[in-house]
Chains A and B, each alone.
Chain A
């Protein structure tokens, strides 16, 4: 028999929805403020990561899942970072 699924309340979903909408507006604001390239990229990546985390944690229920499943979900993210970093030397060699 399937293990019982976690039930997240409507209120939680709507709060996450509101947070995602606000963060999207904030991203648009940051992109148009002209803060300088470095700070803009850092802020936008941080807000984007926060939004992705909210979707994974609450909509995909990772916050309430077993550790085994969280590890299955997290493992490719680690490889994703490694793969991207492994490609970076191409920039310096490629000139």
Chain B
């Protein structure tokens, strides 16, 4: 069912940049997120290079199932992009359909990761059992928490779309949520390579 869009004030722009403040705010938040993950990934790289021995990830981790999970997250980025594109052209049905798909794919990603964690814990991996275990759980754990946060945000966006908040001329919050989701996908692309493949 289509809802009439209520009259809403347009998001103001930052005078210095001409950018919508919502988008600018999200990018500044993402800049801080880059530094957050840099702290984790940077120390991982240093510890890994400095360690005389390091387990071969493929001998411990399930690469094929994680590759499928990576593909799922990539698919969720596409559906998110298509949802935003639908909002820009005013197609409410497509907006919600792609948004629901993105939420579902995000939940599947978290579910598969929870399954993987359960398997690994059964096999004896522990957060305090050594640098490999510690970095694996810390990096994938913080990323998984970000995915969960993203799913909750997208559910909020879905509710807002059902309330008719997004129109072709006013969808800044959805765009900001999309930026966050794509960033989470981008971080996983890097984590998959450095944690599972190298």
Question: Which A residues have a C-beta under 8 Å from some C-beta of B?
Answer: 1-3, 5, 7-10, 13-14, 16-17, 20-21, 24, 27-28, 30-31, 40-41, 44-45, 47-48, 51-52, 55-56, 58-60, 66, 68-69, 72-73, 75-77, 79-80, 83-84, 87-88, 90-91, 94
Q: Can you list 18 A-B contacts with CB-CB less than 8 angstroms, sorted by A residue number?
A: A2-B20, A2-B170, A3-B18, A3-B20, A10-B85, A20-B189, A31-B58, A48-B194, A52-B186, A55-B182, A69-B27, A72-B24, A73-B30, A75-B31, A76-B31, A76-B32, A83-B38, A94-B50
Q: Does B121 contact A (CB under 8 A)?
A: no
Since A24-B70, A69-B27, A84-B38 are in contact, a sample of 7 more A-B pairs with Cβ atoms closer than 8 Å, ordered by chain A residue number, is A7-B89, A24-B67, A41-B198, A56-B182, A68-B17, A69-B24, A87-B43
By beta carbon, the residue of chain B nearest A19 is B74
Please tell me the number of chain B residues within 8 Å of chain A, measured between CB atoms.
59
Given contacts A44-B197, A60-B179, contact A55 B71 (CB under 8 A): no
Please tell me if the beta carbons of B189 and A55 are within 8 angstroms of each other in the complex: yes
Please tell me if the beta carbons of A5 and B175 are within 8 angstroms of each other in the complex: yes
A12 nearest CB across to chain B (Å):
9
Please tell me if the beta carbons of B198 and A13 are within 8 angstroms of each other in the complex: no
| Option from A48, A84, A88 in Cβ contact (under 8 Å) with B193 | A48
A residues within 8 A CB of B88? 5, 7
Please tell me if the beta carbons of B50 and A83 are within 8 angstroms of each other in the complex: no
State in angstroms the CA–CA spacing of A72 and B19 once bound together.
Answer: 12
Q: Does B5 contact A (CB under 8 A)?
A: no
A residues within 8 A CB of B16? 68
State in angstroms the CA–CA spacing of A50 and B35 once bound together.
Answer: 20
State in angstroms the CA–CA spacing of A88 and B32 once bound together.
Answer: 22
| Option from B19, B67, B179, B192 in Cβ contact (under 8 Å) with A68 | B19
B residues within 8 A CB of A77? 34
By beta carbon, the residue of chain A nearest B80 is A59
Please tell me if the beta carbons of B38 and A55 are within 8 angstroms of each other in the complex: no
Given contacts A27-B197, A60-B183, contact A13 B42 (CB under 8 A): no
State in angstroms the CA–CA spacing of A40 and B57 once bound together.
Answer: 14
| Option from B18, B41, B183, B193 in Cβ contact (under 8 Å) with A27 | B193
Please tell me if the beta carbons of B190 and A48 are within 8 angstroms of each other in the complex: yes
Please tell me if the beta carbons of A59 and B77 are within 8 angstroms of each other in the complex: yes
Interface 1/0 per residue, B51-78 and A, CB below 8 Å: 0000000100001000100110011011
Please tell me if the beta carbons of A59 and B42 are within 8 angstroms of each other in the complex: no
Q: Does B118 contact A (CB under 8 A)?
A: no
State in angstroms the CA–CA spacing of A4 and B182 once bound together.
Answer: 20
Interface 1/0 per residue, B143-178 and A, CB below 8 Å: 000000000000000000000000001111001001
State in angstroms the CA–CA spacing of A44 and B24 once bound together.
Answer: 32
